[in-house]
Every structure is written in structure tokens, then in C-alpha cells.
Structure 1
Amino acid sequence: MLNSILDKYRYLLLLTVSLFLFVIIFFSYAYPEGDDAVFGFLKRYEVELSAPVQGRITNNGIPISGAEVVRELSYGGYDKGDPIIDYALTDTNGEFSFKEVKVKSNAPRARS
């Protein structure tokens, strides 16, 4: 009995589930963030992982030029999960800089 009902309404059930998923996806993109987000669990936050960084590398007061400086940033709430790694080379004065890094995240705080 149940199988005959499922066979009879299979396409209607499939259409209903597909429409439901479409509506969820549509509204998640139509209202992706902010206080007016339709689905709270889809709310995205902008998280600053690092402010702009600049510095100077010296050895006994003498600038080191051509040194590679590495910045590795990690955040538990970042969707992609992998650390963000930036590289910079010092100039002739030993100076280097990194730009500010912000990411979008569903979690405003790092997960434990």
C-alpha cells in the first residue's frame, strides 16, 4: 500500500523537496548577512584576521634586503579551513609590509 502511494506521488515529492531546497538557497543569497538575515545559521560575519603589518629587519642596525618574511593566519571559523599564508620580501632598507586580511565566516569567534 505504502509503495503504491510512493510510486504514485514520487514526482510530486521530488518536486516539493527540490522547490524547498531552491527557496532556501535563493533566500540565503538574497539575504546573506546582517540583522535581516532570513536564516540565522546562514548569517556571515566579516572577520579581521590581521590589520596591516609593516616592519623593518636589521642585523646590528644594518638593513637586511631580500629577506623573505612569512605571515601565516589561521581562524577556526573560516570556511576554507586552511591557513592563509602571505610572503613579502624586504626592500633595500629592510622594510616589508602586509595588507589587511578579512574573511567571511559563519562563526564570529574561533571554534574550540
Structure 2
Amino acid sequence: MLSINRFPILIGVLLVLVISEVSAGMFGFAKKTEVHLSPEVNGIVMLNGKPVAGAQVVRTLDYDQEYREETITGENGAFHFPEKNIKSSRPNKLLDETRVRQIVTVNFQGEKYLLWYATPGTIHWRTGIANRLASMRCELSAPEIEQGFENIEKPQFPHSTFSVCRWDNE
């Protein structure tokens, strides 16, 4: 049997739970938001200037969990991944600073090469990143280097990636 002294505490706890659920819905804490994980990716993999056919290319995207996709390069070394967006309630959580992480690798002849590694710093589309991922020329004999490039939407915060790929404007 419930004692009379515990009844107000039980009512208080239930009231707090109900109010927090109402405020979560009212203020959007439970609402799902569109999260942009990656724009479309198009690239060509080469070794010593010749196309690499049949290599496994892996795109791993992290936000609230890991999203992994694989493809195989064609006869001309080309590969493609579609744009990837998700719905998540994570952006609406107070003090959440979760970041998107984008990684594209290729496995060829027992070696793993880094084609792209970036953390865009936002859950929104970034034109500079989309431009780079739309036209990747990846030379497996090239050194992996960090490359900075313009953040068109926020020029004061330039982007960077680690990659063996190069772009036409370099």
C-alpha cells in the first residue's frame, strides 16, 4: 500500500515527466531534422596515370551512427555514390555538438588508400565540399596530403581534407 507521505512525491515525479514530454514536443527536442551527410560523389581512381578497374571503394559517413556503402570502380576507374541525407532528432538536443565525418577509401592490391577525410563542421550542404566530391581525380601513387580549400558559405572557416586525390583548380 502506498503511504500518504509518498503520494505527493509520486505526483510530483509524474508531473515533471509529463511537463518535460510536452515541452520536448513544444520546443522541438523530439522533432527530427534533415541532416546532410554527404553530397553526390564522383571520382576516378588511377595508378601511374592508368585507370584502376575493379577496386573496392568504401564511403563511411558518421553522425548518430555509421553509414557505410561500397562500390567497385568501372573499366575507366570511375566510381559514384549518391547524395546521403538522414532525419535525426540529435540536432535538437541541448548542448549537442555531434559532427558529420566523411571518409572515402579505396582498397586495391591489398592496400588501403585515403581518397577523402573531412569533418564539414555542419549538418548543412557546403558548396565547396560538394564541388570537390563531384570531381575527384585520385592517383594512388600520389602522396596523401592535407589540402585546404574555400568554405563558400563561411569563408572565415576554410575546409580541409586529407587525400591522395587532386582537383583541377590546383
Runs of 4+ in 1 over 4 A off after TM superposition: 1-4
1:107 to 74, 83, 91: 91
Q: Structure 1: any 5+ residue segments left out of the alignment?
A: 5-16, 29-36
**Alignment of structure 1 residues 1-112 onto 2, 5 Å:** 2=2, 38-75=26-63, 78=64, 82-105=65-88, 106-107=90-91, 110-111=97-98
- Structure 1 residue 66 displacement after superposition: 0.5
- Structure 1 residue 38 displacement after superposition: 3.7
- Structure 1 residue 111 displacement after superposition: 2.5
Q: For 1:57, what is the secondary structure of its paired residue?
A: strand
Q: Structure 2: any 5+ residue segments left out of the alignment?
A: 5-13, 100-170
For residues 101 and 2 of structure 1, the distance between their equivalents in structure 2, rounded to whole angstroms, comes to: 53
TM-score w.r.t. structure 1 length?
Answer: 0.59
**Could you report, residue by residue, the CA deviation over 1:42-76 in whole angstroms, capped at 9, with x for unpaired residues?**
1211011000001000111110100000111101x
Structure possessing the higher radius of gyration over alpha carbons: 1
Give identity over the alignment, percent: 38
Which has the larger share of helix?
1
Q: For 1:93, what is the secondary structure of its paired residue?
A: coil
CA RMSD after TM alignment? 3.2
Map of 2:134 onto structure 1: none
Cα separation, partners in 2 of 1:42 and 1:51, compared to 1, 3 Å: same
Cα separation, partners in 2 of 1:87 and 1:3, compared to 1, 3 Å: same
Which has the larger share of strand?
2
Aligned length: 84
For residues 100 and 110 of structure 1, the distance between their equivalents in structure 2, rounded to whole angstroms, comes to: 23
Q: For 2:43, what is the secondary structure of its paired residue?
A: strand
For residues 74 and 53 of structure 1, the distance between their equivalents in structure 2, rounded to whole angstroms, comes to: 16
Cα separation, partners in 2 of 1:3 and 1:70, compared to 1, 3 Å: same
For residues 70 and 77 of structure 2, the distance between their equivalents in structure 1, rounded to whole angstroms, comes to: 14
**Could you report, residue by residue, the CA deviation over 1:1-53 in whole angstroms, capped at 9, with x for unpaired residues?**
8559xxxxxxxxxxxx8xxx8xx7xxx9xxxxxxxx64521121101100000
